[in-house]
Amino acid sequence: MSRREEAAEGRRLGVVWRILLWLVLLLLFYLAGQYAVSLLPRTPLGWAAYLVLSAGGLMAGWAVLVRVDGRPPGALGFALSREAITETVVGTAFGGALIALAVLLLLLTGSAIFVVDSGSALDYASSLGWTLLYFWLAAAYEEIWFRGYGFQALVEGVGPWPAVIASSALFSLLHAANPNFGVAAFVNIFLAGVLLALAYLRTRSLWFATAVHAGWNWAMASLFAFPVSGLTMIDTPLYDAVEVGRDWWTGGAFGPEAGVAGTLVLIVGVWLLIRGPLPRESAHVRALGPIVDRRLPASWP
């Protein structure tokens, strides 16, 4: 075995134990958070769950990143900088625009219509505000767990594409318990995982990846009143979306994430992240030394 091969093998072994350490800490911090929440007199369960999941993932990632890798906390992806504002705004707009394109395809093909629903303008404005925060919390937890330390260490150990494929498959399987999940949903959510992994790898920013994720879900549920991954937890005031086309095209009860219209826009999104004029890793983040930078050039993808 050459020196280069020995170094690569050592790096892979190092990655394995660091990921295992991160998983152990993730479990411990999560259980501690759950216990702390159980002591509170009254807490909105959905919000509390996302906060505990996000906090556990962040603390586990920061612990290994700082103590083992010798990196500052910001290197995980939530660096505090002016660029974070741009990444958040652009990412939210990008995610929202992609799902808007899918909805436009459904409308142009006569596969979906909007019907009048009850509610007022004040109800509508209030719904848009609180659901944006809700979907941000939900997206942050999934990005911290699936594009956080474990994913970043895996990229360092086995390279970007194997890590992207493995994490995207796990990300899709996470949704298998959702109502009306099937093969088409698995494929599209796998593509969404690829999209979000590339969003992180392009910018080394979890601000950007979380914003893309939140913008997609928020626009799909709150602006366009479609199910999100089979779930209909949001009742948008004033109007509702009704799918009238073929399920293979619209996604049926699972929502656009299980239809070919969704597939097409996800492919467009992946292409734009590889070739388009979207944000890249900032000088501030590069100076923090994300661990994926050990493996990837600054311009990847």
Alpha-carbon distance of 95 to 98, in angstroms, equals 5
For the cut 90, the answer to whether the pLDDT of residue 20 exceeds it is yes
pLDDT tens profile 121-160: 999 999 999 999 999 999 999 999 999 999 999 999 999 9
Alpha-carbon distance of 15 to 244, in angstroms, equals 49
Question: In the numeric block, which tokens belong to residue 115?
Answer: 């019907």
Alpha-carbon distance of 282 to 295, in angstroms, equals 17
- pLDDT at residue 288 in the model: 94
Residue 54 contacts by C-beta under 8 Å, 6 or more apart in sequence? 137, 140, 141, 144
Comparing CA positions, the residue from 192, 254, 188 lying closest to residue 227 is: 254
Comparing CA positions, the residue from 140, 101, 122 lying closest to residue 220 is: 101
pLDDT tens profile 224-237: 999 999 888 788 89
Domains of the chain, residue spans: 3-294
What phi and psi values does residue 251 have, to the nearest 5 degrees? Answer: 100, -10
Section 251-267 average pLDDT: 95
Section 43-59 average pLDDT: 80
Comparing CA positions, the residue from 132, 150, 171 lying closest to residue 57 is: 150
